[in-house]
């Protein structure tokens, strides 16, 4: 079957696998555990902690984080990060196509998988799930709406998504000076402040005004004066 799911303003086809719904929480309790990839990078550890935090706010149920090697294969689990167990459960998934930010949100049997490309994909998968499936909303760095439902039933899911724009940034102080909020908004640009724990960000050479850095006049001007405009200013290089 197919349903349409909106991910940050983009409509995606969700091809649901043939399996029944799963109950992540019932009446404020859960039998699930977060199984963290055994080779988890710092951003994936943050992703697990963020899921744990918001899951308890939503359902009232405390949920443990454990290395996947400490979780029985047949236990109800939310697998975070593309660890060995996830790769066994999703043998057809091409992880190389996800780049830095692509996400995977899938159910396999009674398991929920939240994973993605490195370094940011798993973080984005967690926040995409919390936003589109759980109904969380983050309005500003300090204001959000977190729904409360003691029973959290999840339909079958099979989402793989890669952002069409690799670089995402806008210039507001709430984003530039708040790494968590920038990550929640899936922004990753040059002027963001994310550490490796929040997935890092792109860094460009000088960002703008980089002509003389890319084409240093002391190296190229003698043979290519035509590359450097403004003859009235002694052909000083453009910036």
pLDDT in tens, 89-114: 999 999 999 999 999 999 999 999 99
Residue with tokens 């951003």: 43
Alpha carbon distance 83, 71 (integer Å): 13
Q: Which residue intervals of 148-233 are DSSP H helices?
A: 173-176, 179-184, 211-214, 217-220
Q: Percent of the chain having pLDDT more than 90? A: 74
Instruction: Look at the chain and count its residues.
Output: 239
Helix 42-59 / helix 121-132 crossing angle, nearest 10 deg: 10
pLDDT averaged over the chain?
A: 88
Cα dihedral 49, 51, 54, 59 sign = negative
φ and ψ at residue 221, rounded to 5 degrees: -65, -40
Alpha carbon distance 3, 112 (integer Å): 18
Cis geometry, peptide bond prior to residue 119 (ω within 30 degrees of 0): yes
Interval 172-193: pLDDT, tens: 998 989 999 999 999 999 889 9
Look up the pTM and report it.
0.83
């Amino acid at each position: 079957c197919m349903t349409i799911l909106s991910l940050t303003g983009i409509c995606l086809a969700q091809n649901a696998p043939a399996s029944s719904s799963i109950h992540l929480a019932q009446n404020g309790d859960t039998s699930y555990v977060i199984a963290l990839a055994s080779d988890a990078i710092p951003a994936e550890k943050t992703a697990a902690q963020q899921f744990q935090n918001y899951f308890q706010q939503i359902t009232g149920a405390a949920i443990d984080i454990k290395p996947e090697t400490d979780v029985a294969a047949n236990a109800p689990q939310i697998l975070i990060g593309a660890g060995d167990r996830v790769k066994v459960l999703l043998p057809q998934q091409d992880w190389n196509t996800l780049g830095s930010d692509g996400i995977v949100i899938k159910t396999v049997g009674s398991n929920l998988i939240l994973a993605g490309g490195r370094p940011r994909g798993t973080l984005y998968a967690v926040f995409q799930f919390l936003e589109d499936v759980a109904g969380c909303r983050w309005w500003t760095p300090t204001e959000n709406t977190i729904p409360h439902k003691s029973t959290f039933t999840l339909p079958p899911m099979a989402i793989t998504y890669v952002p069409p724009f690799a670089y995402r940034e806008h210039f507001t102080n709430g984003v530039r000076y708040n790494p968590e909020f920038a990550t929640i908004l899936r922004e990753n640009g040059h002027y963001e402040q994310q550490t490796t724990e929040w997935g890092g960000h792109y860094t460009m050479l000088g960002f703008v005004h980089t002509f003389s850095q890319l084409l240093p006049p002391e190296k190229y001007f003698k043979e290519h004066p035509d590359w450097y405009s403004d003859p009235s200013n002694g052909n000083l290089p453009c910036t």
